[in-house]
Amino acid sequence: MTLSHALRAAALAACPLVLTACAVSRPPPQVSAPAPVAWQAPLPHGGSLEQLTDWWQTSLGDTLLAGLIADAQALSPNVAQAGAQLAQARAQQTAARSALLPSVDGQANASRGFNEQLGALATVVQVGAQAGWELDLFGGNAAQLDAARERGAAAGAQWHEARVSVAAEVAQQYAAWHACQQQLAVAGADARSRGETARLSAESERAGFTAPATAALASASHADALARAAQQRLQCDITVKTLVALTGRDEAALRTQLAAAAPLRAPGGAFAVPALPAQLLAQRPDVYAAEREVAAASAEVGAADAARYPRLQLLGSVGAGWVRTGGMSLSSTTWSIGPVALSVPLFDAGRRAAQADAAQARYEAAASRYRAVARQAVAEVEQALARLASVDERAGSAQRAAAGYRRSFEATQARWSAGLASLVELEDARRTQLMSETALVALEQERMAAWIALYRAAGGGWSRDLEPAPAPVMAGTAAPARD
C-alpha cells in the first residue's frame, strides 16, 4: 500500500466520526419524587445537634458499642455481599470504558520445515499486531459506560447502607441487653421483696397469727417472682448470644465486657434531621442508589436504541517476518490500515426492537421504584419522629405513676407489717408497683429504639460527598468504622 492510498483510507475511516453527533436520545436520567412540604411529626431538636457519624461516641458515650459495631460490620455477610457487588460494578465500568478505545492483540509464531518457494529447509519467524476500533457512531458504547458508572455509584451507596443497617441492628441488640438488665434488676428486687414477705408470713403462721392459706399465698407469690426473674435472665442470655453471632466475639469475653460497661444512658443531644423532607432524600443511601439506577436504566435505553443502527469498525495491522535457510536470512515488514467494516442491520425478526422496548420497561420500573423508595424514606422518618414524640409525651406521666405506686406499696407494706392491711392488699400494691417499674424501663427502651430507628432512617451519617467505598475486605479483617 502506497502512502497516498494509506492517507486516503485513513481519511475515509475518519469521515464517520462526524456522525457521532447523531447519538440516539435517552429518557430523562432523573425523575421527580414529590415530598411533603414539611414534617407532620415534631423534630427532636431540643438539644445540641450532633453528626450521625459521631453519635455512638459523643451522645451515647459508649466505646464498647462502637467496637461491637466495627466487628459486626467486618463479619456481616450483607456488607461483604455489598462489597462484592461494588467490586463487580467497578470491573464492569472498566470493561465498558474499554469498548470506547482501540484494542490491540499481538501474535507470534515460528516454524521449521521444507519451504516450497526456496526449495530447502527454512526457519520462519513471524510477529505482528492487529488493532481494531469500533467507532461509536450512535453513542451505544458511551451509553453503556454511563450505565456502568451510575451502577458503580449506586453500589457504593448500597455498601454504606449495608454498614448502616448492621450498625443499627447491633445498637438495637445492645440497647435491648441493657434494658433486659434493668428489667432483671426490677424482677430481682421484686423477688427478694416477695421472699421476705413469704418468710415473715411463714413465721407468723408457725406462731399461729396467720392462716395457712395466707402463708401459702405469700409462698406462691415468691415462687412466681422467682420464675419471672429466671425468664428475664433467659432473655438476657439470648440477647448476649445474638451479639456474639453478630460480632464474632468470644462469649465469655463479651460477657465480661458487658458486665464492666456503664449503664446505657439516653441520648444527651439530638442529631440533625433536615428541616425539610426533600432535604432528607439527599442523605439516604438507598434513595441515592435508586436514583442512580434510574440514570443507568436511562443510559441502557440509549444503548438498546443504538444497537438498531449501523456499526462501523476500523481494523489495522503491522507485522514482521524472518526466513533463515542455509547461511541466508531474509526479512520483511508489512502494515495496513483497514479494512473499514460496516455492519447494517437488515432483518432480525424484531429482536433489537424488543430489546429496546425491554430497556424502556426497565427504565419505567426503575423510576417507579425510586419514587417508592423516596416515599418510604419519608415515612420511616415520620414514624421514628412520632415514636420519639410519643415517648417524650408519656415519660413524665410514667415517672410520676411509678413514683406514686412505689409510695403506695411502701405505705401498704408498713400497714401490713403493723397488721392493718391484708396480704391480698399488699400483693395487689406490689403487682401494681412492679407493672409501673417494668413499664418505665420498657418506655426507656422504646425511646432508645426510636432514636436508633431515626438514625437509620436519616441515613446513618451517609452523604453524597463521601468518598467511594473501599475495596471489599477479606473475611476476618475489620473495616474502619465510620458509623
Domain boundaries, the chain: 1-17+102-135+311-344, 31-100+137-309+360-457
> CB neighbours of 203 closer than 8 A, spacing ≥ 6?
none
pLDDT tier at 267 (50, 70, 90 boundaries)?
A: low
Cis bond before residue 339 (omega within 30° of 0)? yes
Reduced 3-state DSSP string for the chain: CCHHHHHHHHHHHHHHHHHHHHCCCCCCCCCCCCCCCCCCCCCCCCCCEECHHHHHHHCCCCHHHHHHHHHHHHHCHHHHHHHHHHHHHHHHHHHHHHCCCCEEEEEEEEEEEEECCCCEEEEEEEEEEEEEEEECCCCHHHHHHHHHHHHHHHHHHHHHHHHHHHHHHHHHHHHHHHHHHHHHHHHHHHHHHHHHHHHHHHHHHHCCCCCHHHHHHHHHHHHHHHHHHHHHHHHHHHHHHHHHHHHCCCHHHHHHHHHHCCCCCCCCCEECCCCCHHHHHHHCHHHHHHHHHHHHHHHHHHHHHHCCCCEEEEEEEEEEEEEEECCEEEEEEEEEEEEEEEECCCCCCCHHHHHHHHHHHHHHHHHHHHHHHHHHHHHHHHHHHHHHHHHHHHHHHHHHHHHHHHHHHHHHHHHHHCCCCCHHHHHHHHHHHHHHHHHHHHHHHHHHHHHHHHHHHCCCCCCCCCCCCCCCCCCCCCCCCCC
Task: Express each pLDDT in 414-423 by its tens digit.
Answer: 988 888 888 8
Residue 14 pLDDT exceeds 60: no
Give the other-Cβ count within 10 Å of 392's Cβ.
14
Determine which of 71-75, 128-132, 404-408 has the lowest per-residue pLDDT on average: 128-132
CB 342 within 8 A of CB 6: no
Q: Kindly state the percentage of the chain with pLDDT values over 70.
A: 84
CA distances from 177 to 93, 232, 255 (A): 44, 11, 11
| Alpha carbon separation from 351 to 304, 310, 354 (Å, rounded) | 11, 15, 5
What would the mean pLDDT of 232-248 be, rounded to a whole number? 94
How far is Cα 414 from Cα 262, in angstroms, rounded to an integer?
34
Distances in Å between the Cα of 85 and the Cα atoms of 93, 104, 152, 158, 414 are 12, 29, 9, 9, 67
Task: Say whether pLDDT at 19 is over 60.
Answer: no
pLDDT greater than 90 at residue 237? yes
How far is residue 183's CA from residue 432's CA, in Å, rounded to a whole number?
15
Residue 6 has pLDDT above 70, yes or no: no
pLDDT at 223: 93
Alpha carbon distance 358, 356 (integer Å):
5
Buried b (16+ CB within 10 A) or exposed e, 209-233: ebeeebbebbbebbeebbebbeebb
Q: Residue 275 phi/psi, 5° resolution?
A: -70, -25
pLDDT class for 110, splitting at 50, 70, 90? confident
CB 73 within 8 A of CB 163: yes
Phi and psi at residue 342, to the nearest 5°: -110, 125
pLDDT tops 90 at residue 234: yes
How are beta strands 328-343 and 311-325 bridged, if at all? antiparallel
The pLDDT of residue 10 is above 60: no
pLDDT digit string (tens) for 427-445? 888 888 889 999 999 998 8
For residue 22 the three cell numbers come to 447523531
Return the sign of the alpha-carbon dihedral for residues 136, 138, 142, 144. Answer: negative
Query: pLDDT tens across 24-44, in order?
Result: 788 888 888 877 767 677 666
Residue 287 near residue 373 (C-beta atoms within 8 A): yes
Residue 310 and residue 343 in contact, taking contact as beta carbons nearer than 8 Å: yes
Q: What is the pLDDT of residue 181?
A: 92
Q: State how far the Cα of 146 lies from the Cα of 159, in Å rounded to an integer.
A: 20
Banded pLDDT at 11 (limits 50, 70, 90): very low
Evaluate if residue 355 carries a pLDDT over 60: yes
Residue 89 makes CB contacts below 8 A (sequence gap 6+) with 148, 151, 152, 154, 155
The confidence score (pLDDT) of residue 53 equals: 52
Q: How confident is the model at residue 238 (pLDDT cuts 50, 70, 90)?
A: very high
Largest CA distance in the chain: 134
Q: Flag whether pLDDT at 56 surpasses 70.
A: no
Q: For the chain, what is the mean pLDDT?
A: 81
Mean pLDDT, rounded, for 211-231? 89
pLDDT at 245 over 90: yes
How long, in residues, is the chain? 483
Q: Which span out of 61-75, 162-176, 203-217, 323-337 was modeled with the highest average pLDDT?
A: 162-176
Instruction: Give the amino acid at 441.
Output: V
- Please give the pLDDT value at position 65: 86
Q: Does domain 31-100+137-309+360-457 have CATH number 1.20.1600.10?
A: yes
Helix-helix angle 285-306:140-206, to 10 degrees: 150
Task: Report pLDDT digits (tens) over 44-54.
Answer: 654 344 455 55
The owner of cell 449495608 is: 162
| Percent of the residues in the chain that have a pLDDT greater than 90, as a whole number | 20
